[in-house]
Structure 1
Amino acid sequence: MPYMLSAITRLTVTAFALAVLSIPIAAFAAGPAGASAEEAPFLLENDKAMTTMMDEMSIKPTGDVDHDFVAMMVPHHQGAIDMAQAELRYGHNEQLRRIAQEIVVEQQQEIIAMRLALGQPLPLPAPAPDQQRGPDSNPASASPMSHNNMQMNIRKEP
C-alpha cells in the first residue's frame, strides 16, 4: 500500500482534475460560437472519445502498480487513437492526417507492448472503423483487382 493515497486525498485529486479538465472539454465539445456544420461531427466524435477515455481511466487501485498503470494507460492510448481517427475522417491538412496515422499505429503498438509485458491477452485484430465493410460484402469480390481476379501476363522475350 505504499503508493495508495488515502480515500479523501484520491477523491480531492480526482475532483480537482475533473473540475479543471471539464471546463476545456465542455467548451471544446460545444465548439466555438462560429463552428460550422461541417465541423460538428468531428467535435461530437472527439468529445465522445475524450469522455470515454476519462471515464475508463478512472480505476480502482488494485495494489499492483504495474497493473494499475496499464489499466489507466490503455484507455489513454485508445483515446488518442479515437481522436486521431476523427482527424482522419474529417481533417483536410495532409501533414496532420499523416501525423494522425502515425498516432494510430504507435498507440496501438504501445497498447500491445503494455499488455504483453503483463501477460494479458491481446485484443482481436479488427479493421479501423473507416475500413469496416458491410455484412453482405465479400472482400474477394470487392474490387476487380482482388487476388481472385488478378491475371499475370508473363511473356518471355525471344
Structure 2
Amino acid sequence: MILRFFRPGIGAALLGARVLFAVVLSPVALAQEAHQPAPTAQSAEESAFLAENDAAMTKMMNDMAAKPSGDIDRDFVAMMTPHHQGAIDMAVIELRYGKNERLRRIAQEIIVEQRQEIDAMKLAIGEPVTDTTPAQTQQPGATPGAAATIHDHMHMHHDMMKQETK
C-alpha cells in the first residue's frame, strides 16, 4: 500500500504532478533530441535571448516550489504567482529580442493578462496588488513603442483593480 505513506494535501499533489510531468515529457524530450539538427553558431543576440530565457525559467521553477502553509488557497496563489510571473518574464524577453510583430503583440497581451490574473488571485486572498511599473522591454537605444503600450495597459488595469477593492 504505497498510498498510505502519502498524506493527502498539496505536497502529495505536487509530487504527483511532478511525476506525471516527468513521465509525459521524458519520451518527448528523447524524441526531440534524436531529431534535432546539428547545432549552428549562435549570434550574440540569440545567446543573450537564450541565457535570459533560461534564467527566467529557472527562477520560475525555483519560486514555484513554495513551502505549504496549511492554507490551500494561499498555497495555490504562492505557486501560481511565480508561474504567471515566469510567463511575464518570458514575454518581456520576446519583446526585447523578437522580430515577429504578431508574436510581439501576443507577448504584450501575455504581460497584461498574466499581471491581471496575479492581481486577481492576490485580491481573492486579501493581499495587496503589486505596483505595475512596466518592465524594461527594449534593448538600450531602441524605440519605445511596445513598452509604452504595455505601460498604458498596466496603468489602466491598476486603476481598475484599485476601484474594485474600494
1:35/1:85 Cα in 2 relative to 1: closer, same or farther (>3 Å)?
farther
- Unaligned residue ranges in structure 2 (runs of 5+): 1-6, 141-166
- State the TM-score, normalized to the length of structure 2: 0.62
2:72 to 65, 68, 83: 65
- State the AA in 1 paired with 2:53: N
- Structure 1: unaligned runs, 5 residues or longer: 134-158
Equivalent residue number for residue 92 of structure 1 = 99
**Structure 1 residues 4 and 79: CA distance shift in structure 2, 3 A:** closer
Give the TM-score taking structure 1 as reference length: 0.65
Quick one: percent identity of the two aligned structures? 54
Task: Give the Cα separation in 2 of the matches to 1:75 and 1:4.
Answer: 17
Go from structure 1 to structure 2 and tell me whether the alpha carbon gap of 1:89 and 1:63 turns closer, same or farther (over 3 Å shift): same
Match of 1:3 in 2: 9
Q: Which amino acid aligns with 1:33?
A: P
Report the Cα distance in structure 2 between the residues aligned to 1:113 and 1:16, rounded to whole angstroms: 28
Flag the 1:55–1:15 CA change in 2: closer, same or farther, 3 A: farther
Q: Does 2:102 correspond to 1:102?
A: no
The whole-number CA distance in structure 2 between the counterparts of 1:42 and 1:56 is 21
Q: Which stretches of structure 1, 4 residues or more, deviate above 2 A after TM superposition? A: 1-6, 9-21
Considering fraction of residues, name the structure with more helix. 2
1:75 to 62, 82, 101: 82
Note if 1:53 corresponds to 2:88: no
Aligned residues between the structures? 123
In 2, distance between residues paired with 1:53 and 1:62? 19
Kindly report the root-mean-square deviation, in angstroms, between the aligned alpha carbons of the 2 structures: 3.0
Instruction: Rate the CA distance shift 1:107–1:33 in 2: closer, same or farther, 3 A.
Output: same
Q: Which has the larger radius of gyration?
A: 1
Name the CA shift for 1:97/1:66 in 2 (closer, same or farther; >3 Å): same
Q: Is the 8 A contact 2:64 2:78 kept in 1?
A: yes
**Partner in structure 2 of residue 39 of structure 1:** 46
Query: What amino acid is the match of 2:111?
Result: V
- Provide the C-alpha distance between the structure 1 equivalents of 2:124 and 2:75, rounded to a whole number of angstroms: 13
- On the 8 A contact 2:11/2:68 being kept in 1, the answer is no
Contact 2:95 2:137 in 1 (8 A): no
Question: 1:89: how far off?
Answer: 0.5
Give the whole-Å Cα distance in 2 for the aligned partners of 1:58 and 1:91: 30
Write the distance in 2 (CA, Å) between the matches of 1:84 and 1:18: 25
Q: 1:60: Cα distance to partner?
A: 1.4
